[in-house]
Amino acid sequence: MRSGPLPEMKQDLLSLDLPGLEDWVSSRGYPAFRGRQIFQWFHARHVFLPEEMLNLPKPLRSQLAQCLLPFPIEPETSLLARDGTRKFRFRLADGGAVESVLIPGRNRATLCVSTQLGCRMGCAFCRTAGMGWVRHLVPGEILGQLYAVGRWLGPQGPPLTHVVFMGMGEPLDNLENTLCALRILTHPLGGCLSTRRITVSTVGLPDAMGRLLREVPVSLTVSLNAADDPTRSRLMPVNRRVPLAELCAALKELPLAPRRRITVAYVLIRGVNDRPEDARRLARLLHGIRCKVNLIPLNPFPGSDLERPEESVVVAFQEGLRSRGISAHVRFSRGEDILAACGQLADARTPGLAPGERTPDVPR
């Protein structure tokens, strides 16, 4: 018979929030503050090697070393666009790949992170949808994108000041893991990032949006993309489950902090949703919703025949909203030449489920 402690199982400790790590140390007979120390090493100092966690007792360090899985996300390639945007591709432990996009600014740097490997929303204008859905990312894989890019930038590089959840996947379809990553990122002992510097972009799942804003009051972007149900259902299949009236009613009810507004994203597609009457309908739809509109001229991608409208059409659409009292800006997304712009991320080599292949058990 063997004696002594059983060998420890490998565990995804990077995905545990603070109470999770406190429980983990308690179950091994250590006081809860040891969990806080590990949390700080991971999420405030980005140290993942137990032997470097010098304030921990040696036996805890070696237990940690036995349990800790390798860092979950390894940069494979990074591509620099003409406009300075850089796209990172990460290989995950199970062989899949996700992408993150670094958007440098003058005194800031924004990272656009992915929340799923693939996506099951099936939006007609989005390249990620074409790869289908493979799986959710766990919190350690979502945060790992930030930590790995932070390491790549190095101590001389700009700090990552802003995070947008707008990469591959629908963050609110992966609500628990997204919320956990957000709790860690905003925790005073963790990433300590202000909720004002975080934006979550969603197709608009009413219950999940409410829960998100109650638990972590980040900035919310809702991808509307059409102002009538037939067009939106054609572009975004999720609209068949949550039609516009229901979505807009939910937006009016959201627990928004005073003076904060929702951003409505509207991808402009030539001949599909870019007519003056679409602008008129959109203005009517948004009446009474505290929001501003970001107009995104479509980023085309190989294999899709959807096109970007002429600039004059984009300007006319914007004017159509402004003249009706809706604040509207045109946002050209960046990194288009390396397929890093909105809606262009995908791992062409990972075969996923086709969007319609499996009835999605997606939350509302």
Counting contacts by CB under 6 A, is residue 85 touching ligand SAH?
A: no
Phi, psi (deg, nearest 5) at residue 322: -60, -40
CA torsion angle 149 152 153 156 (round to 10): 140
Residues 216-275 within binding reach of ligand SAH (CB under 6 A): 223, 225, 265, 267
342 is catalytic: yes
Q: What residues does 219 pair with on adjacent strands? A: 199
Gap between the Cα atoms of 270 and 267, Å rounded? 10
Cβ proximity to ligand SAH: between 320 and 343 the closer is 343
**Closer of 148 and 208 to ligand SAH (Cβ):** 208
Q: How far apart, in whole angstroms, are the C-alpha atoms of residue 177 and residue 154?
A: 27
| Contact between residue 87 and residue 99 where contact means Cβ atoms under 8 Å apart | yes
Q: How far is the CB of 22 from ligand SAH (least distance, A)?
A: 32
Residue 246 a catalytic site member? no
* Closest residue to ligand SAH in the complex (CB): 343
98 near ligand SAH, judged by CB under 6 A: no
Question: Which residue number, 21 or 220, has a Cβ lying nearer to ligand SAH?
Answer: 220
Closest to 16 (Cα-Cα) out of 33, 29, 35: 35
Q: Which of residues 321-350 bind ligand SAH (CB under 6 A)?
A: 342-343
Helix (H, G, I), strand (E, B) or coil at 88: strand
Tokens of 273: 């949703």
Q: d(Cα 39, Cα 37) in Å, to the nearest integer?
A: 5
Q: Could you say which residues in the range 124-153 bind ligand SAH, by CB under 6 A? A: 125-126
Q: Is 170 in the site for ligand SAH (CB under 6 A)?
A: yes
- Of 166 and 248, the one with the shorter C-beta distance to ligand SAH is 166
Residues with catalytic function: 99, 342
Interface residue list for ligand SAH (CB under 6 A): 121, 125-126, 166, 170, 201-203, 223, 225, 265, 267, 296, 298-299, 342-343
